[in-house]
Amino acid sequence: MDDVIDTDVLADHYTLVDVLISCRPEDAAMLCDEDHPVGASIRRAVRSAMPAHTLIRRLTVVEAQVRSVGSAPGATGGISIEAAAGTSVNQGPHSAIDLALVWEHLRFRSKTEIRIAQALDRAGALYLPNCRARLGLPNSRLNKEPDFVVCRAGAWGILEVDGKPFHQVGEWDDARDALFHAAGVSYIRRYDASDCYMRPDEVVAAFLSGLATEQSSAGHME
């Protein structure tokens, strides 16, 4: 069974997820039977378990030997259910998604990032959260993923939320920043995760003010 809903309109109002149900062959037949009362109950339970404003875009049943929760090592049987984002493919690579970290149909690595996104919304800024960028020299192109790419009055900058366990720091960040500098994004600022969580509006205000100053300085130099 592979039930799919039309996403053209719904994607603007809901977070759409794909659900994969792995189970034994004998259970798969039951789940695929639209008229089987147990299978219908399981499908309804899965849909009811989705958070508010979340719809199942695709529900797929596959045959596999899976372990039940709490079963003894080596035992097989039961049903395994996984949910993954069915949209937002332009965002950073994740094999699965924590539905608690979805806001406005966008996914984030931490609640701190969500607070920064909300502050950017309140500031009226254009921003791209956790989106992969393609950059580098013609013979060595790479995918890199900044936390927030922000545009304000034609000026582009990158806002990074630093702090374990969600972000690496050090030489890896320096090398990535160098790539964005070479691509023309010179304004990159990092803020401590605790400040971002506790004072997101202040962090965003400081970032946008600095971005405007950077743009003004660049204009005077031309």
Domain boundaries, the chain: 2-103, 110-221
Under DSSP, the state recorded for 78 is S
Ramachandran area for residue 70 (φ above 0: left; ψ -120 to 50: alpha; else beta) = left
C-alpha atoms less than 13 angstroms from C-alpha of 167 in its C-beta half-sphere: 25
Beta carbons of 105 and 87 less than 8 angstroms apart: yes
Neighbour count for residue 78 (Cβ, 10 Å): 16
Residue 88 has pLDDT above 50, yes or no: no
Class of domain 110-221: alpha beta
Tokens of 176: 């990535």
What SS3 class is residue 166? coil
Would you give the DSSP letter of residue 59? E
- Phi, psi (degrees; rounded to nearest 5) at 190: -115, 140
Contact assessment for residue 51 and residue 17, using Cβ atoms and an 8 Å cutoff: no
- pLDDT tens-digit profile of 94-140? 444 455 577 887 878 889 999 999 999 999 999 999 888 888 888 98
pTM of the model: 0.60
Nearest to 90 by CA among 131, 149, 126: 131
Q: What is the per-residue pLDDT for 14? A: 66
4-8, 14-18, 91-95, 172-176: which is most confident = 172-176
* pLDDT band per the 50, 70, 90 thresholds, residue 215: confident
58 CB-near residues (< 8 Å, 6+ apart): 2, 3, 4, 5, 18, 19, 86
